[in-house]
């Protein structure tokens, strides 16, 4: 499927308003059913509580013509090890994550470091919908209408210094409440990182919502990263710290198994995971497998970031 949007080359090639509206109406109808009631299972009630209203969301851009993943699948089939290892655990234990009050520390090589309340952090940034694919290294993928804004816009406000070359992110650390954090799965808190140019790329967003509403806890409320050309584990959830660094930061999965999870983690069907192939993926909600695209289909926008790099070594 050809790309619908390229921020550098065709800034005006956005989804026709009509198409967007139509899609949104379908979503509203689906959401109106009341997911919690539909499931009729007590632990799942967190789902119904999720999805707070958001201030004005611009009818943003659609980067794929692929069908959206149903809301129910995107919110009940998750990876969020702080809330358990099973795919259904994050939705079940979503209440264990307390997202209010929330603040984010921005520090390291920035001109204006500080700890900022979430409201204040978000206020200057108009929210936009971006329909992106998200592909997990485990071989499944989804198409999700995220609501967020470019990470680069936020970083610029805090004035990255000349020595800054990377951005490190940290998830909230609350072992008393988050069941996974008292288990020896990863070195907590969960950490991720990007090179500064990747972080500043217009496709890289901080998401605060999905499907037109606030993020459900299991999807990384209240603030998560989405980097559409990288494997899902790069898209760190429930962020409490953003640090500009000179050195490549330590990241959870890379530290856990460096031969399996590289720092770059670009979606690359040509580089297999040591224990399984990466050339195909199963779209959640379908039964068949489809070809995985280089850079998850965003190569036209991002391939130049990696020019001259050996992507089999820098995987």
Ligand X SMILES: Nc1nc2c(c(=O)[nH]1)N[C@H]1C(S)=C(S)[C@@H](COP(=O)(O)O)O[C@H]1N2
- Contact set with ligand X (CB under 6 A): 78-82, 134, 136, 142, 171, 190, 219-220, 232-233, 235-238
Check residue 136 for interaction with Mo ion (CB under 5 A).
yes
Q: Total binding residues for Mo ion by CB under 5 A?
A: 4
* Residue 233 binds Mo ion (CB under 5 A): yes
Q: What is the largest CA-CA distance in the chain?
A: 54
Of 79-87, 105-113, 167-175, 204-212, the segment contacting Mo ion by CB under 5 A is: 79-87
What is the smallest separation between the CB atom of 307 and ligand X, expressed in angstroms?
27
78 binds, among Mo ion, ligand X, none (CB under 5 to 8 A by kind): ligand X
Q: Is 232 in the site for Mo ion (CB under 5 A)?
A: yes
Give dist(CA 177, CA 153) in Å, integer.
32
In the bound complex, what is the minimum distance in angstroms from residue 173's beta carbon to Mo ion?
20
134 binds, among ligand X, Mo ion, none (CB under 5 to 8 A by kind): ligand X
Q: Are 88 and 72 in contact (CB under 8 A)?
A: no
Interacting partner of 219 out of Mo ion, ligand X, none (Cβ under 5 to 8 A depending on kind):
ligand X
Q: Is position 238 annotated in a ligand binding site?
A: no
295 contacts Mo ion (rule: CB under 5 A): no
Binding residues for Mo-molybdopterin: 78, 81-82, 136, 171, 219, 224, 235-237
- Could you list the residues that contact Mo ion (CB under 5 A)? 79, 136, 232-233
């Amino acid at each position: 499927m050809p790309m619908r949007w390229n921020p550098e080359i065709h800034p005006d090639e956005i989804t026709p308003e009509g198409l967007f509206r139509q899609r949104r109406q379908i979503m509203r109808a689906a959401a109106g059913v009341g997911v919690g009631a539909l499931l009729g299972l007590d632990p799942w009630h967190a789902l119904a509580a999720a999805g707070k209203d958001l201030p004005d969301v611009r009818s943003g851009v659609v980067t794929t013509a692929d069908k959206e993943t149903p809301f129910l699948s995107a919110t009940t089939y998750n990876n969020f090890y702080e809330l358990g290892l099973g795919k259904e655990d994050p939705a079940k234990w979503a209440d264990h994550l307390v997202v209010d009050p929330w603040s984010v520390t921005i520090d390291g090589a920035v001109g204006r470091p500080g700890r900022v309340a979430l409201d204040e952090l978000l206020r200057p940034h108009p929210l936009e919908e971006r329909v992106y694919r998200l592909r997990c290294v485990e071989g499944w993928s989804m198409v999700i209408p995220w609501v967020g804004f470019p990470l680069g816009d936020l970083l610029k406000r805090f004035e990255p210094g000349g020595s800054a070359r990377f951005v490190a992110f940290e998830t909230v650390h609350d072992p008393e409440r988050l069941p996974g954090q008292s288990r020896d799965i990863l070195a907590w808190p969960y950490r991720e990182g990007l090179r500064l140019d990747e972080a500043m790329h217009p496709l890289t967003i901080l998401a605060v919502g999905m499907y037109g509403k606030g993020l459900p806890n299991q999807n990384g409320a209240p603030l998560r990263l989405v980097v559409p050309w990288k494997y899902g584990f790069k898209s760190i959830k429930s962020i409490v710290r953003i640090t500009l660094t000179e050195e490549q930061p330590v990241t959870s999965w890379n530290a856990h198994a460096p031969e399996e999870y590289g720092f770059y983690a670009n979606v690359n069907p040509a580089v297999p995971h040591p224990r399984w192939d990466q050339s195909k993926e199963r779209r959640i909600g379908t039964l068949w497998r489809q070809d995985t695209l280089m850079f998850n289909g965003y190569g036209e926008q991002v391939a130049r970031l990696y020019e001259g790099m050996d992507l089999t070594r820098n995987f």
